[in-house]
Amino acid sequence: MDGSACNDIRYLREMPVTVRYGEVGANGFATLSSLGNWLQEAAGLSADELGFGAGALSPYGLTWILMRMILHIERLPSLEESLVIATWPSRFSHFGYRGYKIFDSERRCIVHGGSAWSVMDLAARSLSSLLEELTARYPEAPSGCDEFSCRAIPKMRSAACTSRIRVRKDDLDINGHVNNTKYLAWIMEKLPFEQAAFPRMVDISFRAECLPEDDLEASSMVADHGEIAPSMTDASSAVKYVLHSVTRISDNSNVCRALSSWPA
pTM of full prediction above 0.85: yes
CA angle centred on 40, ends 38 and 42, rounded to 5°: 70
Give the whole-angstrom CA distance, residue 73 versus residue 102: 9
Element (H, E) at 185: helix 180-186
Q: In CATH, what number does 9-135 get?
A: 3.10.129.10
**pLDDT values of the chain reduced to their tens digit, one per residue, 264 residues:** 455 677 788 899 999 999 999 999 998 999 999 999 999 999 999 999 999 999 999 999 999 999 999 999 999 999 999 999 999 999 898 899 999 999 999 999 999 999 999 999 999 999 999 888 888 888 877 788 999 999 899 988 887 889 999 999 999 999 999 999 999 999 999 888 877 678 999 999 999 999 999 999 999 999 887 777 666 766 666 788 999 999 999 999 999 999 999 988
pLDDT value at residue 193 = 82
Confirm if 218 and 166 have CB atoms less than 8 A apart: no
Superfamily designation of domain 161-263 = Hotdog Thioesterase (3.10.129.10)
Looking at residue 30, the DSSP 8-state letter turns out to be B
d(CA 30, CA 38): 11
> Do 98 and 42 touch, CB atoms closer than 8 A?
no
Half-sphere CA count of 222, side-chain side, radius 13 A: 12
Phi-psi label, residue 80: left if phi above 0, alpha if psi -120 to 50, beta otherwise: left
Nearest alpha-carbon partner for 69 in 12, 117, 118: 117
Q: Are 217 and 163 in contact (CB under 8 A)?
A: yes
Instruction: Determine the pLDDT at residue 28.
Output: 92
- Asked whether 215 and 163 are in contact (CB, 8 A), the reply is no
What is the C-alpha separation between 129 and 236, in angstroms, rounded?
A: 37
Instruction: State residue 185 phi and psi, 5-degree precision.
Output: -75, -45
User: Which amino acid would we find at residue 63?
Assistant: T
Start-end of CATH 3.10.129.10 domains in the chain: 9-135, 161-263
Q: Identify which of 172, 185, 166 has the alpha carbon closest to the alpha carbon of residue 244.
A: 185
Q: How far apart are CA 250 and CA 36, in angstroms?
A: 27
